[in-house]
Amino acid sequence: MKRIDYSKYSLSELYSVKSDIDASRNPENFIALEKELSKRESHFTSNVAPQETKEFDDFSDDPIAKVTSWSATDFNSSSSFCTHHLVDINENRLEFFSSDKSIGFLLVFMLSGVVAVLFGYLMQRSGYELLAIMPFSIGGLFILASVAGLYFGSTPIVFDKELGLFWCGRKKTVVSENYVPSDFLVRLSDIYALQLLDKLVREDDGDYLFYELNFVLKTGSRIHVMSHGDEKELTTDAKKLSLFLEVPIWNGIDKKPRSELGTLAVSLLTENTRQRI
């Protein structure tokens, strides 16, 4: 069989071929495929790894940093864990995908709904039609909420160098003559920097910090990209994205000393306790 040149394949195409190739029938192509995959992965890792120890960019004297907002956006995240992670599709494309924890949480939520519906069905079969309405209703809501979460959570969030665009959505993206940067579409050339911020969320069952990643445009305006509760994961993704887009990271998470954040959190918790008493 003719040997295939895998160097022209994208990383996603290589993974697709790997899942289909028969190593026993095509040993030469399988070995070539493994070598190309190893080469691509090590190349990407070697590019990203140094960023882990790199200090964040100094923006204290940047004129754009002085006019942009340093407060968290109005976007509210209800997740105290990592909901998405950034994946390398090929050298010209990165995408945010739902995390395993996020998908697992929604599947458990859906399973709870299925159990409630089955319980309602058994109650109905036993002659308790009116009592069965509640588990049917609650279970149905759980299932609908889970399906909606899985659908909207899997919405493509794409950074594409070939098109020169960031977009969020399932439809093919086209830049119109009336283009204005939005949460769903931004030209990569409009991005001046990446901004990391944190925000304290107060809830009845406890307070927690969530973190957000924003684009800072050349005009000083901002576009929200991602928010969740895992600082380490979001920071790692920001460094990968900074390398990909060749723009600096402005870390606003540490603008307020951690001791001050801790004092604020304690004071808020004390206030909540007093109100409940």
What pLDDT digit, counting tens, does each position of 116-139 carry?
999 998 888 888 888 888 988 999
Domain membership of residue 117 (yes or no) is no
Domain membership of residue 43 (yes or no) is yes
- Give the Cα separation of 127 and 122 in Å (integer): 9
Domain membership of residue 220 (yes or no) is yes
- pTM of the predicted model as reported, rounded to 2 decimal places: 0.63
pLDDT of residue 210: 83
What pLDDT digit, counting tens, does each position of 78-90 carry?
577 888 889 988 8
Mean pLDDT of the chain: 78
Q: Which residues, listed in sequence order, are joined to residue 267 by a DSSP beta bridge?
A: none
Domain membership of residue 144 (yes or no) is no
| Number of domains, the chain | 2
Which two structure tokens, joined as six digits, stand for 209? 């910090």
Residue identified by tokens 């030209």 is 187
165-168 vs 157-160, strand pairing mode: antiparallel
Domain membership of residue 20 (yes or no) is yes
| Contacts with 272 (C-beta within 8 Å, 6 or more apart), sequence order | 202, 207
CB of 81 closer than 8 Å to CB of 229? yes
Q: The domain containing residue 189 runs over which residues?
A: 55-80+165-172+180-276
